[in-house]
Structure 1
Amino acid sequence: MQTIDFAGTSTRVSALCLGCMYFGTKTDQETSYALLDQYYERGGRFLDTSNNYAFWVSGGLGGESESLLGRWMKERRNRGEMFLATKVGARPTVPGAGLASAEGLTAKVIARGVEDSLSRLGTDVIDLYYAHIDQRTVPLEETLEALDRLVRQGKVRHLGCSNMTAWRIAEARTLSRINGWSPYRCVQQWHSYLRPRPGTGGIEVPEAGFTFQVNVNDDLLDYCAMNQDFTVVAFSPLLLGAYTRADRPLPEKFVGADTDARLRALDTVARETGSTRNQVVLAWLRQGKPAMASIIAASTTEQMKENLGSLDLVLSEEQVQRLSEAHG
């Protein structure tokens, strides 16, 4: 597995992070273990989960994914090899109520949340701990100080945020610098090759009943370019299958001249390299500027094989430039 530098630290992480959202709910334990083993055998060591995955699935409460990963790492005896990421802040406090009752990011929630995640994961330290959603009713100082306390206690190694705008990220990192707190090192944000029309938000998760409204934009990419100690971890880079699956049409917010131009470029490069659209997208994200880790997801070993196959694809500088500059 290729690795990339994690936000200017001495840590290197797998270029493809395995998203484990549905492990333990929609994806049963046997299938989840098979996918984890397949990823591990290819050298993958970066796992992403959350304390609320996947509460929206029938019978789910949140925490099922963390618990399954804890069992898998214990049985495989490989916790020390994995770079483990999880999140706090979006777990419902009322079963069945959804994000309207999200726990938020108070100091009390964070202190309790990390202990619960550590227990489910069967570990004494989390490598990357995300503030899952931006809760603007809680002072940033309270959230950041509580997260920094976890780092000082040795329960967390690195901090990240998710679903947060560029100006809020800059504000948070400035506050951390002023107060000597551990800063956010990355943001996990929706990002792909195709770009939604301005003002149309992120990507819907129909079965979950919510939309990720915050996506990577030029402001955030510019911020990353100017701050080498901060990076993007891209989630849903394959648009939930819309690049290749006839049963997953592109959401309406992507329809337009810009998408048409970028799809033409994508298909041309796919033909030139003998690769799939999905593989070209993942290679473009890995080789672009700034280079970033992508979160892949799979429910079958065939899907996992295709995703991992993107690691064998090396785009030329001209192909990367052609893809990046395509527009309508």
Structure 2
Amino acid sequence: MKLRRIGTDPATRREVSALCLGAMTFGTTVDEETSFAILDRFVAAGGTFIDTSNNYAWWAEGTQGGESEALLGRWRKSRGIGDEVVIATKLGARPRVPGGGFANPEGLSAKVIRESADRSRETLGVETLGLLYAHIEDANTPLQETVEAFGELVADGTVGLLGASNHWMWRVERARNLAAAAGVPGYDVLQYHHSYLRPRTDIPSRRAKDGNQGVATGEVLSYLREQPGTALVAYSALLGGAYVRDDRPVDADFVHPGTDARLAALREVAKQTGASANQVVLSWMIGHELPMFPLVGASSVAQLEDSLAGVELELSADQRARLDAAQ
């Protein structure tokens, strides 16, 4: 497994696997036996980076979430997993009441941040959360309060790295400036929906709602170029199977006149390499000039195996240029 550095502060940065395994459905739509098998195979292949959230997956069970974290905690305990595996989790979007959804999330107040982080540590069975994200924005809490609360978690050893998911870039930048002014750690990792196909720019993303950006636009990528070391964790990197399954249409956020050219280039390179389109996408992302960690889910060991093969695929300079040039 290829390893990459995540984090900019020498005191907290880590080396983690280039592929991040998403555990969103573990413990709900993916049963415990299958989830454990997927996790075991990921670690056996050298995987050390797993993603979850304290609200996964409330929509499957009509709860407040936490099923994924609970399963990961049981898996860690049964396998003797230590801090060699970084489990990233998120807070802020957990429903306040069972089944409440995103209409009334817990938010990012100092009280919620402390209580949610402690609950996640207990559920996961860890002393320190390797990476903690602010899951969605909270316009009702002063940003200074949120920033300082996250900084306190790092200061007392509760959290290693901090990240923001789905935030508008101006909010990310303001939060980082506030953190720097206060002398506390800021967001080192950004998580957005990103893939090989480019998002539409003529209409707002369907994920751009409730004060959240969602898709990694050109603005996000431009920001990363100007912030060396800041990493992008790209969720839904394989577009839910749309690259390889005829019954899975491409997400509307990525359908525009340039899509066909990108898909044609992808299919050409896949044919040249003998790899699947998914594997080419993962290889392209991992080898990108920006520090990109594709985040992929799996509902079977076979699905994970396909993604692992993508990590090992090496694209030639010409193949990468062909993919990049497609408009």
Give the TM-score taking structure 2 as reference length.
Answer: 0.94
Distance 1:128 1:66, change over 3 A: same
How far apart are residue 324 of structure 1 and its match?
1.5
Contact 2:22 2:297 in 1 (8 A): yes
Equivalent pairs: percent with the same residue?
A: 45
String of CA shifts for 1:120-174, please: whole Å, max 9, x gaps: 1011110100000011221110001000111111110110000012221111111
For the residue of structure 2 that corresponds to 1:85, the secondary structure is strand
Partner of 2:154: 151
> Aligned runs of 1:224-239 on 2, under 5 Å?
224-239=224-239
2:93 is aligned with 1:96:
no
Partner of 2:284: 284
Q: Aligned partners of 1:291, 1:125: CA distance in 2, in Å?
A: 24
Letter in 2 for 1:110: I
Contact 2:50 2:85 in 1 (8 A): yes
Bigger CA drift: 211-220 or 305-314? 211-220
Contact 2:109 2:141 in 1 (8 A): yes
> Aligned runs of 1:42-121 on 2, under 5 Å?
42-121=45-124
Gapped regions of structure 2 (runs ≥ 5):
none
Partner of 1:264: 264
For the residue of structure 2 that corresponds to 1:87, the secondary structure is strand
String of CA shifts for 1:276-298, please: whole Å, max 9, x gaps: 11001111111112031111110
Distance 1:253 1:78, change over 3 A: closer
String of CA shifts for 1:214-258, please: whole Å, max 9, x gaps: 211111111111111312110000011111112211133433320
Q: Aligned partners of 2:211, 2:97: CA distance in 1, in Å?
A: 20
2:7 is aligned with 1:4:
no
How far apart are residue 3 of structure 1 and its match?
0.7
How far apart are residue 212 of structure 1 and its match?
7.5
Gapped regions of structure 1 (runs ≥ 5):
205-209
Partner of 1:14: 17
Q: Aligned partners of 1:203, 1:26: CA distance in 2, in Å?
A: 24
Contact 1:7 1:228 in 2 (8 A): no
Q: Aligned partners of 1:303, 1:201: CA distance in 2, in Å?
A: 32
Q: Aligned partners of 1:52, 1:319: CA distance in 2, in Å?
A: 40
Contact 2:128 2:157 in 1 (8 A): yes
